[in-house]
Structure 1
């Protein structure tokens, strides 16, 4: 009997995608730094550059390129697609700059947040902290404008740009709505798990996973089966991402995460972890947790008390939710109409999200 030898698919090189995305970002910012009209203060482009290249996993650009591969197959990625993917990272930077002001965060990626860095740069002013916050709002807005500019100058076809804007308009609206829901519930934690998951749906599932994948797919002219499978994969993956993020915000090692392990507790963030804790806590535990969460002066000892209650009542539930959603995302890939190498890359991304400690 004659058998056909099938060569294994060439793996998608995720590191190479990151390198190309970084190159597109660097080229764009270098062009802004040398522009003569308008001639920007050097500290603006320097601050955005330092923030972008201080770390970051480039998850959104990676998923965008994988969405493109899911529809286009295993062919080299054209530079316009890389530039469109890179625009997502600028949008993400803008959201983080504003988010850190809202949360009054001191550090991000183990460095001062943008508003803190700008305040330090202008410490000779009479109002450095106020200036830093206001300047960071402006810089976040500018970075969002640059994200749109990078997309519009990516040299996409007119049809591609129209399709991209449909996806991105939805993404921008979703993340702002999610941010507002987050604000409404901050310092007002409750046992309402549904509300915590609704915040995740808009703030993370859409913005981090679904829309980036869909952006890449529409740029490749994906058929409905590809787009439906990407959406089915993105839903549980995005939830797993945020649930893991919530655990890291409370239990993560600041030396690894680059962020304080007190901020979420001091803010009283309404997360699935907190909702489940209040659902399963004894009356005494619930009263103690509600008395401590949202206290801006929460100290390490009180934070440890919160962690003890969260561990006793909810941590194992959240960890089980993450495992369940990881399995759901992988089951979608069992039947997804993607090339084998793309399928494996998406499995690798799912593995990395549930196992990350940063």
Structure 2
């Protein structure tokens, strides 16, 4: 598998990603948009999701294309980031046309970062403004790690973050993943050094340390996240929210199958995954630029999306950077990796 030139979801032509964050808040928003509306669906496997307008992404619902997808911190407050994105799209005249009305279609999902040490004493919900700013920042290049929706994310043993990865298949199809990783589980083995996703790493993108050589792996190390968060919520406030995308032409049902397959990437990169206290969710997206020639192509694209998502999760944690008031260390601070 060969990564795209940027190793980002924006290696898919036409896709753009924007971030906005507030360092004092320790939270932020990430928006995926495109040059034109795109086909999308979704699949949820976590027990505690927080979403907006995801019901319309079911294969039997009438809306076929969306204008943007929003990933945000802020728990339920963060859903208002979608409103800011809608404001910006409407100002550009983009959206679903109903007579004289224009209605942007902006599904979204949130992660819980309300107990991460940031200043949450706002009097006016900040996420609408963050959503609009993230949309206005959308470009083919964007920051990873402590950025956007991953700004205040925490995994079990380290800071979480925002990650992305891509693959260009031999037939020319590009597949990519974008993720805000804030899981209950750990992205590393008990040593805190080796990533669960190590077998799928490409080109040293998260340290090139290889898999953990220890046998009998499977038992998670004690969660530092549970110790530093509020004692009333040791198993609450977690979620990995992601988007996987391709330029292959997929129908809405096929985009849902893409999202289903990609969930394997969460399970490959996080232990445990899809818990009752996680809101694990994956959006599946197609820009429709390349024809799909067979069902075998769809299976390969789904598998590739799962690998990209596993890599993106590891990159999210690997690239996190320390900030004042952090509750957990960054992966880069845990050991001397020189």
- Quick check: TM above 0.5? no
TM superposition score normalised by structure 1: 0.26
Which is richer in helix?
1
Higher relative contact order (CA 8 A, sep 6+): 2
Which structure: larger Rg?
1
Higher strand fraction: Structure 1 or Structure 2?
A: 2
Q: TM-score, normalised by structure 2?
A: 0.27
